[in-house]
Amino acid sequence: MEELVADADRMGRIRDFAWKAGPDLPAHVATYPSMLSSIERRMLRWLAAEHYTGRGAICDLGAFLGGSTIALAEGVRAGGHTGKVIHSYDWHRISERSWEQWEPAISRPYPESGKFLSVTRELMGDLADLVEFHSGDFSQMPPPQSEIEILFVDIAKVFATSDHIVRNFLPKLIPGQSVVIQQDYFHVWPPFDVYVMEVLHDHFEPLAFAKTSALFINVRAVDSAAVESALSRNMSIETLRGALEAAAGRWPQEQGAHVERILRSLDGLDRAPQTKRILRRTTKGGLTLAERAEKAKWRAKRRRRKALRGLRSRD
Ligand SMILES: C[S@@+](CC[C@H](N)C(=O)[O-])C[C@H]1O[C@@H](n2cnc3c(N)ncnc32)[C@H](O)[C@@H]1O
């Protein structure tokens, strides 16, 4: 009973956006090179310090130079946990051009090979002791052996990574305890975060948000049937549209409006190259009637445009 009250209290604090009232980020985290906003890093730090119990692992999927990882590590340390409890995944590879953009914050020369994991370790200092780094193609990497308590997703940019998370990471969550943070949820693209969480809406309850990140509590074990339902091979334009429409209604107006922007980008089919890719991919294994109709409509539109251009050029 006491445990249940404690759990309810912890969830209540997430629902209350408790990190906003929490301490500011320490300077070495606040100034660390990161693509995340400061409020997102505060939220990660807070979750690792206040929500994390040590029962499972913390996963940072898509760490880049480690801005999300160091925020989590700082929280883990504040919570008094030790050992390599954070699993941080990335290619750890960068082009010289991108490095130049980040160089003022990194203050290190470009690594000749383009591989920067050693720089990340150096920048993190002793907080790196709390991290197991996984370098290379995430979609080929196994999840940690333990359960997962905090799952931060900043890597679901394409089908392969989204499917890998659904297959191998979601089944490791602890119902009633694990928190999933979907960083791209309120971005206009990609739509995978919204799609997966919506298809699995009876497994995840929305809790809060921070900038473009959406936070969910896992309420039901993700079994093989649930995994199958959320894989991209079962996504069509119709199911994606339905998921986006339903998801828009689950959040306060401002956040719902961001989800609606993704919907609108679907309507501009010929303007979004990623949407074309979705169409191609969802139709790979055989077309459903609805997909065929959508694709035919799209092709007809292009043909009409081309014909019109031809007519104009003759005038
Ligand atoms: C938006 S960035 C992450 C930003 C980071 N969380 C931060 O705090 O700055 C996404 C990261 O995902 C990584 N990524 C994308 N696809 C990947 C893959 N298949 N394998 C490994 N890393 C991948 C990229 O290398 C990139 O660093």
- For the segment(s) 2-235, the CATH number from 2.60.120.10, 3.40.1260.10, 3.40.50.150, 3.40.50.280 is 3.40.50.150
pLDDT at 170 over 90: yes
Whether residue 29 has its Cβ less than 6 Å from ligand 1: no
Separation CA 231–CA 192 (nearest Å): 10
Whether residue 138 has its Cβ less than 6 Å from ligand 1: yes
Q: What is the mean pLDDT of the chain?
A: 89
**Cis amide prior to 190 (ω within 30 degrees):** yes
Q: What residue's CA is closest to ligand 1, atom 27?
A: 64
Q: What residue's CA is closest to ligand 1, atom 11?
A: 62
Of the ranges 6-20, 48-62, 249-263, which one carries the lowest mean pLDDT score? 6-20
Long-range contacts of 281-286 (CB under 8 A, 24+ apart): 281/159, 281/232, 282/232, 282/233, 282/235, 282/236, 282/237, 285/233
Q: In the numeric block, which tokens belong to residue 122?
A: 């150096």
Give the nearest ligand 1 atom to 137 CA.
20
288 band by pLDDT with thresholds 50, 70 and 90: very low
Whether residue 98 has its Cβ less than 6 Å from ligand 1: no
Separation CA 198–CA 288 (nearest Å): 21
Q: What residue's CA is closest to ligand 1, atom 5?
A: 63
CA of 139 to the centre of ligand 1 (A): 12
pLDDT at 284 over 60: no
CA of 62 to the centre of ligand 1 (A): 3
- Burial of residue 54 (CB within 10 Å: 0-12, 13-18, 19+) is middle
Kindly state the percentage of the chain with pLDDT values over 90.
Answer: 71
Whether residue 190 has its Cβ less than 6 Å from ligand 1: no
Whether residue 137 has its Cβ less than 6 Å from ligand 1: yes
Separation CA 162–CA 261 (nearest Å): 21
Separation CA 69–CA 61 (nearest Å): 9
Give the nearest ligand 1 atom to 160 CA.
19
pLDDT digits (tens, 9 = 90+) for 218-233: 999 999 999 999 998 8
| Model pLDDT, residue 159 | 83
Q: In the numeric block, which tokens belong to residue 131?
A: 């991290």
Q: In the numeric block, which tokens belong to residue 73?
A: 């590590």
264 band by pLDDT with thresholds 50, 70 and 90: confident
Amino acid symbol at 220: R
DSSP state of 173: B
CA of 155 to the centre of ligand 1 (A): 5
Q: Where are the domains of the chain?
A: 2-235, 237-315
The candidate with the shortest Cα–Cα distance to 221, out of 169, 290, 291, 174, is 174
Whether residue 154 has its Cβ less than 6 Å from ligand 1: yes
Give the nearest ligand 1 atom to 152 CA.
6
Are residues 207 and 14 in contact, defined by beta-carbon separation less than 8 angstroms?
yes
Partnered with residue 134 across adjacent β-strands are 89
Helices (H), the chain: 2-15, 27-30, 38-46, 67-78, 96-106, 117-124, 159-168, 192-199, 224-230, 237-248, 253-267, 273-282, 289-314
Separation CA 257–CA 249 (nearest Å): 9
Mutational pocket test of ligand 1: of 38, 90, 138, 164, the residue with most ligand atoms within 8 Å of the beta carbon:
90
CA of 284 to the centre of ligand 1 (A): 27
Q: In the numeric block, which tokens belong to residue 246?
A: 């339903």
pLDDT at 171 over 80: yes
pLDDT at 216 over 70: yes
CA of 294 to the centre of ligand 1 (A): 32
